[in-house]
Structure 1
Amino acid sequence: MTEADVHGPVDFVLLEFREDRLTGRAADELLRLVDDGVIRLFDVAFVGKTADGEIYAVDLAAEALAEQLGLNAFAGARSGLLADDDVREAAQVMEPGTLAALIVYENSWAIPFIAAARESGAELVASARIPAADVMAALDALEQAAEPLQPI
């Protein structure tokens, strides 16, 4: 089995933004991850939710804001893995008056490791994702609970 026959884990994230907080920095970092070969983008879809709760699709090719924030680079990121129903379902958890990016990506950094593991006869039997906010909260709690070192 070669690395060309192997895929890394595929994840999705839904990132919700308030329009007054859109800077384009997240888009720049996402593009850097792609350029560095850390991830491979399969799908990027933008969806909005009005203050009244109406869900609407955002056409990046037609939005001036997309060009201003550097988001138009994602306009063609559609593999077909992400269906319109998936976007509508994801939008259900959004707060009114927000804009969100639904991103499906492959963790391409893992491909050599997965290929080596499979060549060794390993099979993935469990996997989980711990949200970054949960990790940061747990680390903060551990730091708060840690007793200070006493001088010797």
Structure 2
Amino acid sequence: MEASQIPVVGPVDYLVLGFPAGEQNFTGEAIDELAKLVAAGVIKVLDMMLVAKGEDGSIEGTEIHESDAGDLGRLLDAETDVALLLAEEDIAKVGATLEPGDVAAVLVWENTWAAPFATAVRRAGGELLASGRIPTQALLAAAEAELAREGA
């Protein structure tokens, strides 16, 4: 592919957020923050899904664009050009990690802020060799450990 034909596409990430039964407190705050990221052009939502595990162990996946339930319906505006990247096997894998009554939200997004950089790398013949993420919980634990050492 010629350099001028390389599409301007940023890296694509996903996450799965778990909401244990009895601890679900959907206020819409997270949805508002996601909408801000989309409006600012930081990300482009490619796919979103809710996965629920029934008390009987059954697993149900619902694409956000199929839902108009309360605050979730507002995410329809964020889910642009739905790619439907998530498949039945993804639903099954997420559902297998849930306890009965739990719900998980799966989000797939393009990092549009990184698209120009990623495109420039591809035009130069570069390719991504590795990627990773340090979980927030690990950072918080490290910060707490450092504070404990300083206080000792």
Bin for the TM-score computed over the shorter chain: 0.7 to 0.9
Within the candidate set 112, 124, 130, 1:126 is matched to: 130
In structure 2, give the amino acid aligned to 1:106.
Answer: E
Within the candidate set 108, 113, 125, 1:109 is matched to: 113
- What's 1:6 paired with? 8
- Deviates further, 115-124 or 29-38: 115-124
Structure 2 residue 55 is the aligned partner of structure 1 residue 54: no
**Residues 139 and 74 (structure 1 numbering): CA distance in 2 closer, same or farther, change over 3 Å?**
same
Partner SS for 1:21: coil
Compute the RMSD of aligned alpha carbons: 2.8
TM-score, normalised via structure 1 length: 0.78
Partner SS for 2:114: helix
Is the Cα–Cα contact under 8 Å of residues 44 and 75 in structure 1 kept in the other structure? no
Once the two structures are TM-superposed, the CA of residue 120 in structure 1 deviates from its matched residue by 4.3
Number of residue pairs aligned between Structure 1 and Structure 2: 145
- Deviates further, 73-82 or 46-55: 73-82
- What's 1:141 paired with? 145
Partner SS for 1:141: helix
Unmatched 5+ residue regions in structure 2?
Answer: none
Identical aligned residues as a percent: 38
In structure 1, give the amino acid aligned to 2:128.
Answer: L
Partner SS for 2:139: helix
**Residues 75 and 92 (structure 1 numbering): CA distance in 2 closer, same or farther, change over 3 Å?**
farther
Is the Cα–Cα contact under 8 Å of residues 13 and 104 in structure 1 kept in the other structure? yes
